[in-house]
Amino acid sequence: MIRLDSVTFYRYSTRVGHLRRVDNRAVVLDGVTVQINAGERVALLGENGAGKTTLMRIMAGVFEPHRGSAAIHHDSSAILDSGFGIELWLTGRENAESRLILSGVPKGERQELIASLENFLELGTYFNEHTHTYSVGMLARLAFGLATLQPRAVLIIDESFGAIDERFQRRAWNRLSEIIEQGSVLVMASHSLEQLRTYCTRGLLLKNGSLVADGPIDQVIATYSST
């Protein structure tokens, strides 16, 4: 499903103290090799700046590695930034339609998908309001709903559950479970270890851009907690 082989990725723009530098470039990912198979639920762990989001962007096909190779599945959906793609001067409905157009969904199929999203989000009349009137939690709901609007082979989620209330989290998890049951891959990063333990079965621990642990989630969490 996803195979990364000795993936190295540099950053040009800023000086980051804790990262190794090559030719005046900071090494954000340093020779990461990992394979994720269909149906796996993988947690990414690591401190801030460890390279989790960059690794997710490579898995989502947003970044290309500078060295090594990345064989990725192109039918993927990613929530890498909770506010991504949500235009604040459009309504929730218009944002949903916009996302479907950008995903290339034919006009005839859009209304049905939007109706199912409206039902799932439970935003009431807010769904037809400009999204700048939404609370942070409502925006997080919308972002989650948009990312899971269509079944995808790979679902990548970065820290997006934090602002969602507990009742909606259960609905969100049910939706994720349905997607995963269809053989999809889930890759998830969060600082909530409990959340990762609940949703994932495998863990990858990153430290300063290097993969330092790969194994069952409980074992990797234990390694992470002890470092």
Partner 1 sequence: MLSEYFRFACRSAGEYQVWSHLGWRDLRVRFSRTRLGPWWSTLAQSVLVIGIATATSLIAQENFREHLLWVSVSLLVWTFIANVILESIDVFSLERGLLLNTRINELSFSYRIVWRQVLLSLYSFPIPVVCAVVSSTFSPRLFLLPIFVALTGAALVTPSFLVGYITLRRRDFVQIIPPLVQFGFFFSPVMWQVPTSGRLAALSTFNPLAWTMEGVRDLVLGGHVFGRNLALWVIFVFASIMFLPSLAPIAKQVRVRI
- Contacts with partner 1 by CB under 8 A lie at 10-13, 57, 60-64, 74, 78, 80-81, 83-85, 87, 89-90, 98, 101-102, 104, 130
**Which of 31, 61 has the CB closer to partner 1?**
61
CB of 47 to partner 1, least distance (A): 20
Least distance between partner 1 and beta carbon 97 (Å):
9
d(CA 85, CA 98): 9
- First and final C-alpha spacing in the chain: 30
Which residue, 80 or 186, has its beta carbon nearer to partner 1? 80
* Residue number with CB closer to partner 1 (10 or 199): 10
Least Å distance, CB 86 to partner 1, is 9
C-beta of 42 vs 80, nearer to partner 1: 80
State the minimum distance, in angstroms, from the CB of residue 177 to partner 1: 24
Q: CA angle 14-78-20, nearest 5°?
A: 25
In whole angstroms, what is the distance from residue 161 CA to residue 30 CA?
Answer: 28
* Cβ nearer to partner 1, comparing 1 with 60: 60
CB of residue 218 to partner 1, shortest distance in Å: 31
Instruction: For residues 136 and 155, give the distance between their C-alpha atoms in angstroms, rounded to a whole number.
Output: 22
Report which secondary-structure segment, H or E, holds 167: helix 166-181
CA distance 76 to 112: 21
Please give the single-letter amino acid code of residue 187. Answer: V
